[in-house]
Chains A and B, each alone.
Chain A
Amino acid sequence: MEERDVPTGSDPVIDAYRGGVDHSLLRENLQRSVEERFLRLMEMQRFATELRRAGRQATASS
């Protein structure tokens, strides 16, 4: 994807979040096609839905 180069200004609030960015995960993701990125997102959504369901069930039965 060809894009413009626009400098992103420094913001101390955003800077505080930079340490939490997983660069290796991003590099891995950038190797994927756009379609693969969406397929992976949908897998993550299904996993999150299943975790929420399991959490509700565990809370209800305790």
Chain B
Amino acid sequence: MDYAKALQALARGGVEFILVGGAAATAHGSARLTQDLDVVYRRNDTNLERLVESLALHDPYLRGAPPGLPFRLDVSTLRHGLNFTLTTNLGDLDLLGEIVGGGTYEDLVEHSLWLELFGIRCRCLDLETLIQTKRAAGRPKDFDAIAELEAIVRIRPRPE
């Protein structure tokens, strides 16, 4: 996954999104390997249009689907769905309308922080809410990730 190009494409396209999942864990200091980019996106009309425009050049396609399906990532597709697991020419991208234990963009935005990286600013879920969502998901693959994130809560430098 080319995180620099993917985040730049979204941020420079004016997309309102919050970094969640493994990439958010990386931002907070996790040393675990993650392969994709998970974002919770705002589901108003303007943002759906911006999302479609931002990804248009990056060949979005349904991950795991056989090739050749008549899939188009357009505003109508986004309106009729919620969570999309996609491949793109920048890497695997999960567009999430809501997440277990966290809710929608509007629910999460007050639990997010601004990050500055790769020349852009983007929102990232705060560490405590990230842990909360991973606990709520209850997936065995997240158990060691939660243990690591909780260790980060204990050892991270405190703001002065």
> Which residues in A have some Cβ–Cβ distance to B below 8 Å?
1-6, 8, 11, 13-18, 20-23, 25-27, 29-30, 32-35, 37-38, 41-42, 44-45, 48
SS of A interface (majority):
helix
What 4 A-B pairs have minimum CB-CB distances, sorted nearest first? Answer: A17-B147, A6-B128, A35-B117, A17-B144
The answer to whether B30 and A29 have CB atoms under 8 Å apart is yes
Cβ of B137 within 8 Å of any chain A Cβ, yes or no, is: no
Could you tell me the distance between the alpha carbons of A37 and B28 in the complex, rounded to whole angstroms? 9
CB contacts (< 8 Å) of A11 on chain B: these are 135
CB distance from A15 to the nearest CB of B (A): 8
In the complex with contacts A2-B159, A26-B148, A41-B126 CB distance below 8 A: no
Which of B2, B31, B111, B153 is close to A29, meaning CB atoms less than 8 Å apart?
A: B31
The answer to whether A18 and B155 have CB atoms under 8 Å apart is no
The answer to whether B152 and A42 have CB atoms under 8 Å apart is no
Could you tell me the distance between the alpha carbons of A9 and B127 in the complex, rounded to whole angstroms? 14
Q: Size of chain B's interface in residues, with CB distance under 8 A?
A: 39
Cβ of B82 within 8 Å of any chain A Cβ, yes or no, is: no
Q: Which residue of A lies closest to B114 (CB)?
A: A1
Which of B23, B146, B156 is close to A30, meaning CB atoms less than 8 Å apart?
A: B156
The answer to whether A26 and B128 have CB atoms under 8 Å apart is no
CB distance from A27 to the nearest CB of B (A): 6
CB distance from A1 to the nearest CB of B (A): 5
The answer to whether A8 and B117 have CB atoms under 8 Å apart is no
Q: Which residue of B lies closest to A42 (CB)?
A: B3
In the complex with contacts A20-B144, A42-B2, A14-B27 CB distance below 8 A: no
In the complex with contacts A3-B127, A8-B153, A26-B31 CB distance below 8 A: yes
Could you tell me the distance between the alpha carbons of A37 and B124 in the complex, rounded to whole angstroms? 14
CB contacts (< 8 Å) of B128 on chain A: these are 3-6, 8
CB contacts (< 8 Å) of A34 on chain B: these are 27, 115-117
Cβ of B151 within 8 Å of any chain A Cβ, yes or no, is: yes
